[in-house]
C-alpha cells in the first residue's frame, strides 16, 4: 500500500461523508467527485468498503432507485448520526491538520539547514 | 427495494457486458463473496451490483477491473466481507433451519413416493421407530451440512487462481461425499441401528403430505426472510 493511501485511510470516511452531505450520489459518481476534489490517486474500489462501513455504523443510508440515465443505482444519503459524525471528524481534522502541516514545513526547513551545514 | 432474486437476475444480464478479462476478475469475486457472506443475500447482492455497475462504467472509460479494485481481488473481497454485517450463530440460524427443513421435506417426499410405488407390487411395513428415525436424520443432516461446507471450501480454493482448479476440487468433493455417505447406507441397509423408541405406522400418504407441507413452510419462510 502506498504511503498516500495509508494516510488517506483514516480520513477517507470523512471525505466520503462530506461529499454525500452535499448531494446524494451513487458509487461511481462518488469516485468521480473524489477525483474532482483532487484525490485522484485513491483507488476507486476503496470507496466500497468505506461505504459498507458507514452504512453499518448508520452514518449513511443506501437506497436503490432509477438513475437519471435509466438503470437502477444505489444512492447514498447522510443520516442524522452521519451528520454528527462528520461534524466531529471535521473538528478533529482541523485540530490535526494545522500542527501536522507546520511540523512537515519545519522539517523541510531543517533539511535545507542541514544541507547548508554540510556544505561548510 | 429491489429483491435479491431480481438483483441476481440483473447481475447475470449485466455481466455479459464485461470484457473477458474483467469478467474473470469479477466472477471470482462474485462467487467468493456469495459463498463467504451468508447473512443475507440482500446485502451481498446489493454490493455485488454496485461493483458490477462501477466496473461497467469504468470499462467504458478504458479501465480494467484491476485498475479499479486493485491487483489483489481476494484481499479486496475479504475487506468488503469484513465490512458487511457480522454473522453470528443467531443470524445464521434461519439459514441452517431452512436448509434442514428443505432437506427433511425432500426426504419425506422421496420416502412417500418410494412407498407408494413399491407398495403397488409388494406389502410394505411402513412402521417407523422414532428413536431410529431421529438418529438417522441427524446423521444425514450433519453429513449434508459437512458436505455443503466442503463443496463451498473447494469452490473457494479454486478461485483467484491463474488456472481453474475447480474440476480437481470437485472430484475430491465427490470422493469425500461417497466415503461420507457410505456408513449411512450401510447402517440403514443392514439395520445396524436396532429399532428403538415409540413406533407408529407412517404410510406413503402422510409421508408425502407432511413432506409437501414442510416444503411449503420452508418456501414461505425463505420468502419472508429472503435467505436463498
- Of how many residues is chain B composed? 228
Chain A interface includes B152 (CB < 8 A): no
Under an 8 A CB cutoff, do B1 and A64 touch? yes
pLDDT: which is higher, A1 or B129: B129
Chain A interface includes B49 (CB < 8 A): yes
Q: Which residues pair with B201 in a beta bridge?
A: B127
Q: Is the CA virtual torsion A27, A31, A33, A37 positive or negative?
A: positive
Q: Which residue among A44, A45, A49 places its CB closest to the CB of B83?
A: A49
pLDDT of residue B76: 94
pLDDT of residue A113: 55
Nearest-CA distance A118 → chain B (Å): 43
Mean pLDDT by 10 residues, chain B (228 residues): 83 92 93 80 89 94 92 92 81 85 94 91 86 88 89 86 75 88 82 81 92 95 78
The ipTM estimated for the assembled molecules is 0.80
Nearest to B53 by CA among A43, A58, A15, A70: A70
pLDDT in tens, A61-80: 998 887 777 778 899 999 99
Average pLDDT in chain A: 85
Chain B interface includes A49 (CB < 8 A): yes
Q: Is the pLDDT of residue A119 over 70?
A: no
Chain A interface includes B17 (CB < 8 A): no
**Cell reading at B222:** 425463505
pLDDT of residue A25: 93
Domain spanning A3-119 has what CATH number? Answer: 1.10.10.10
Per domain, the residue ranges of chain B are: 4-83, 89-225
pLDDT of residue B187: 79
User: What is the C-alpha separation between A63 and B73, in angstroms, rounded?
Assistant: 26
- Between the ranges A31-35, A36-40, A112-116, where is the mean pLDDT highest? A31-35
* Whole-prediction pTM: 0.77
Cα separation values, B155 from B36, B41, B51, Å: 11, 18, 21
Nearest to B103 by CA among B61, B146, B57: B146
The CATH class of B4-83 is mainly alpha
Amino acid at each position: 500500500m502506498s504511503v498516500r493511501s495509508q494516510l488517506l485511510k483514516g480520513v477517507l470516511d470523512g471525505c466520503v461523508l462530506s461529499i454525500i452531505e452535499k448531494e446524494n450520489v451513487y458509487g461511481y459518481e462518488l469516485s468521480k467527485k473524489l477525483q474532482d476534489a483532487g484525490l485522484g490517486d485513491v483507488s476507486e474500489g476503496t470507496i466500497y468498503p468505506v461505504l459498507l462501513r458507514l452504512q453499518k455504523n448508520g452514518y449513511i443510508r443506501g437506497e436503490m432507485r432509477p438513475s437519471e440515465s435509466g438503470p437502477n443505482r444505489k444512492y447514498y444519503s447522510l443520516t442524522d448520526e452521519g451528520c454528527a459524525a462528520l461534524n466531529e471528524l471535521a473538528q478533529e481534522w482541523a485540530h490535526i491538520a494545522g500542527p501536522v502541516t507546520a511540523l512537515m514545513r519545519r522539517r523541510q526547513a531543517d533539511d535545507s539547514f542541514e544541507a547548508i551545514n554540510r556544505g561548510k | 427495494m429491489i429483491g435479491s432474486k431480481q438483483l441476481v437476475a440483473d447481475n447475470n444480464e449485466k455481466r455479459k457486458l464485461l470484457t473477458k478479462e474483467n469478467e474473470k476478475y469479477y466472477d471470482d469475486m462474485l462467487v467468493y463473496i456469495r459463498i463467504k457472506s451468508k447473512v443475507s443475500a440482500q446485502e451481498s447482492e446489493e454490493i455485488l451490483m454496485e461493483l458490477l455497475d462501477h466496473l461497467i462504467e469504468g470499462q467504458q472509460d478504458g479501465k480494467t477491473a484491476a485498475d479499479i479494485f486493485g491487483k489483489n481481488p481476494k484481499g479486496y473481497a475479504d475487506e468488503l466481507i469484513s465490512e458487511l454485517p457480522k454473522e453470528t450463530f443467531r443470524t445464521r440460524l434461519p439459514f441452517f433451519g431452512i436448509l434442514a427443513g428443505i432437506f427433511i421435506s425432500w426426504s419425506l417426499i422421496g420416502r412417500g413416493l418410494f412407498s407408494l410405488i413399491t407398495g403397488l407390487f409388494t406389502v410394505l411395513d411402513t412402521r417407523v421407530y422414532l428413536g431410529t428415525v431421529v438418529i438417522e436424520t441427524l446423521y444425514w443432516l450433519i453429513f449434508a451440512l459437512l458436505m455443503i461446507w466442503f463443496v463451498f471450501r473447494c469452490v473457494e480454493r479454486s478461485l483467484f487462481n491463474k488456472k481453474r482448479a475447480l474440476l480437481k476440487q470437485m472430484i475430491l468433493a465427490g470422493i469425500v461425499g461417497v466415503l461420507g455417505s457410505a456408513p449411512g447406507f450401510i447402517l440403514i441397509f443392514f439395520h445396524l441401528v436396532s429399532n428403538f423408541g415409540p413406533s407408529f405406522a407412517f404410510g406413503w400418504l402422510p409421508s408425502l403430505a407432511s413432506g409437501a407441507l414442510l416444503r411449503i413452510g420452508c418456501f414461505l419462510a425463505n420468502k419472508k426472510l429472503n435467505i436463498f
